[in-house]
Structure formats: structure tokens, C-alpha cells
Amino acid sequence: MLQMPWSALDYAYHPGVEHLVPAIFDWAVERAAAAARQNGSEFTLVLYIPPARASHTVHALARGFRLEDDWTIVHLSRSLVEPVVVPELPAGFAFRPLRGDSEVEAYVRLHQAAFDSTMMRLGWRARTLTMPMYRPELDLFIVNDDDQPVAFCIGWVHPDGTAGQIEPLGVHPDYQRLGLGKAVLLEGLRRLQAGGVARALIDSYKSNDPALMLYQTADNGNFRPEYEKTAYVRTFTP
């Protein structure tokens, strides 16, 4: 499928039919070209190729896709076996979980402000609360002294219960540089750990230096890169 909010192709196949990958890429090219025509504007499609699929690179290049390092995603992980540092919040701030459907709109406004993007929508965010793996205690806010959300972090536990992922994490622009990103990350990790998770995962664009610094600094996330999902990009015109 084409994941429209991320302009990306998401594909999977049975191990015995890898020979169908060129056909998958051909389908993606056709759909991306159609999207550009239907919308009357450029459409950029990204193929993310991790090391295990390195042989697919030749098929991407043959279809006009080119390496774009800024779009490449770094996959990081860290152990949660050892205690996680207890986060400290500035005076006037506190942690609390999202209050269900009643705060979905507030979350969407915060998310859009944090990422300067309108991709996050009410319906999308509301549906995340109905997912089988959703855990309310991992849907975390930092609020100011008016109880207004100013930072967020959501934790997801993998089906086997041994690993958890932070996705997404953000801070309102008016409240950045106060240590809230570090604090909400550490609290999210502590809550994953309290739920029995032994390993935490997180992804970041390779070009996002502030996020990578936050995640990898020893007294912050202490994550370490595992591998990169290399980005191959092609822009389609109407």
C-alpha cells in the first residue's frame, strides 16, 4: 500500500515469492503517477530499504528512484533491563495520560504545532485509542500549570511483550529548550519498563540532528543505532 501521510510504499511478501518485488515496485510507480494526476500536483514517493532488503535497491534505481539521505530513517534501540533515570520537570509542569476521546482534539493541535504539519487528523488519532495494542497509561502528556498539554510521548508494546516503541514524541514550539523532550522520553521509557518491556525502539530521520542527539545522549535516551532504512525517492508530476 501507499502510506499517504508519509509518502511511502509499505510492502510485504511471503519469503517464497521475492521475485514479485519488481511487480510491487511497478504497481507503486503506477499508483504514484495516478495520485499526481488526480491531485494536479507533484507527488513524492519514498521506498525505504533496510539492510535485509538490500537486493531491492537495483529495482528501485531501475524505476527512477534516487538515494536521498535526508529521508533515510535510523532505527535505534536500548535495553530497559537496568533502571531508567527518573526525569525531573521544571516547576509548574506535570506528567499525566491523555484523557481519552475528550482530549483527542487537544492532542491533534499539539501534534500539528510540534511538527509544523497538518498530517495528524482527529479521526486518525481517535482510531488509535481503539487499537488492540493501545495502553492508556503509555499515552503520555506533560501539562503546564494550567493543565494544558505542551509535550507528548506515546509508547506501543509489541505483541510478544518484550519490546516497546516510542512513536511519536514532540514538544510545542513555545515550550522547547526546557528539557521537556528529555523528560517525556524518560517517563515514557519508565512506563514501558514498568509494563515488563525489556527493550525499547525508536526511529528518527537521519537528518534530524536534535532528535538523534536527544535519543542517543547517555543521560537522555541512551539509544544506539541498529540499522538504517535507506530512502530512495522519486517525484511524480501531473
pLDDT tens for each residue of 101-145: 999 999 999 999 999 999 899 999 999 999 999 999 999 999 999
- Report phi then psi at 38, rounded to 5: -65, -35
The CATH code that applies to domain 82-197 is 3.40.630.30
State the DSSP H helix or E strand holding residue 212, giving kind and residue range, or none if neither: helix 209-216
State the pLDDT at residue 5: 84
Could you say which residues of the chain have pLDDT below 70?
none
C-alpha to C-alpha distances, 65 to 58, 121, 176, nearest whole angstrom: 10, 29, 36
Q: Output the average pLDDT for the chain.
A: 96
State the pLDDT at residue 224: 96
State the pLDDT at residue 131: 95
State the pLDDT at residue 223: 96
The grid coordinates of residue 209 equal 540532528
Between CA 70 and CA 68 the distance in angstroms is 6
Exposure letters 127-161 (e unless 16+ CB within 10 A, then b): eeeeeeeebeebbbbbbbeeeebbbbbbbbbeeee
Q: Which residue, 126, 127, 136, is CA-closest to 104?
A: 126
State the pLDDT at residue 221: 84
Burial of 60 (0-12, 13-18, 19+ CB in 10 A): buried
